[in-house]
Amino acid sequence: MQPDEKTLARLKPGCICKGIRLIRLIEAIENGADTYEKIARATGIGGGSCKGRRCGEKVAQLLKKL
Ligand code: FES
């Protein structure tokens, strides 16, 4: 991942429901979390009003990419 992408990820939402930025998801993956459940445990995403639908899609994209 490019440094620019990480800078942007500090501003972009990761889990809109919980107000958690995208960078937190990236850091969790870099620290070894390789499933939605592990990333959710590490970051506190999920369990919002969308029941993880929106952040689940982001996690799936990140896991493919990283
Ligand atoms: S965006 Fe994460 S629970 Fe809704």
pLDDT in tens, 43-62: 999 999 999 999 999 999 99
CATH of domain 3-65: 1.10.10
- Answer whether 17 contacts ligand 1 (Cβ < 6 A): yes
- Specify the pTM: 0.94
Residues with Cβ < 8 Å from 1, sequence gap 6 or more? 26, 65, 66
Q: What are phi and psi of 47, to 5 degrees?
A: 75, 10
Q: Where are the domains of the chain?
A: 3-65
- CB 40 less than 6 A from any atom of ligand 1: no
Residue 50 beta carbon below 6 angstroms from any ligand 1 atom: yes
- Choice from 12, 17, 58, 62 to test ligand 1 binding pocket (greatest atom count within 8 A of CB): 17
Distance CA 41, CA 4 (A): 27
Residue 9's contacts (CB-CB under 8 Å, 6 or more residues apart) are 21, 22, 23, 26
pLDDT category of residue 1 using cuts at 50, 70 and 90: confident
**Neighbour-count burial of 3, counting CB atoms closer than 10 A to its CB (0-12 exposed, 13-18 middle, 19+ buried):** exposed
pLDDT digits (tens, 9 = 90+) for 2-53: 899 999 999 999 999 999 999 999 999 999 999 999 999 999 999 999 999 9
